[in-house]
Amino acid sequence: MSKRSEDVALLKRMARELVETWSSTWNSKDTSAASQFYSNAPDLVFFDLGPTHLGWEQYRQSIERSFDTIEKLDLTLNDDLRLVVGDGMALTTATGHISYRMKNNENFESDIRFTGVWENKGGRWRLIHDHWSRSR
């Protein structure tokens, strides 16, 4: 298997693990497992269904604040995950579904889109940008 094929297989697995980890992170209220997927550079931009976040630390803090209002969250990816892999960089895109229950018992469901930009430093792939949005 070529190095590129190995990277594609690894990144597909990591993108799916990322989504599974986000679901368990919301339900366990612990962001430490999700941290393994993200670069710690403070100037990176991350978009989720809420505000823009500058750096993983700010993103993590925002997520932890939302634990006060969200009781349970489920996040899944569809089978349309695509990858473009270059020298030390990769792009993943996929659609999926999010559902969550607020602590006030309100429920929310939406189809979503996910884009992740990954960088390989020292043999480790880490997200340097991700963007989660609702499908229209």
Can you name the residues that pair with 84 across neighbouring β-strands?
Answer: 91
pLDDT of residue 40: 92
- Residue 16 tokens read as 């799916």
Question: What does CATH list as the number for 3-31+39-134?
Answer: 3.10.450.50
Average pLDDT for consecutive 10-residue bins of the chain (136 residues)?
A: 81 80 75 87 86 90 87 86 88 91 95 92 90 84
Interatomic CA distance for residues 57 and 55, integer angstroms: 5
pLDDT of residue 9: 85
N residues, the chain: 136
Q: How many CB atoms lie within 10 A of CB 54?
A: 12
pLDDT of residue 11: 82
pLDDT of residue 108: 93
pTM above 0.85, yes or no: no
Please give the torsion angle defined by the CA atoms of residues 94, 85, 62 and 77, in that order, rounded to the nearest 10 degrees: 20
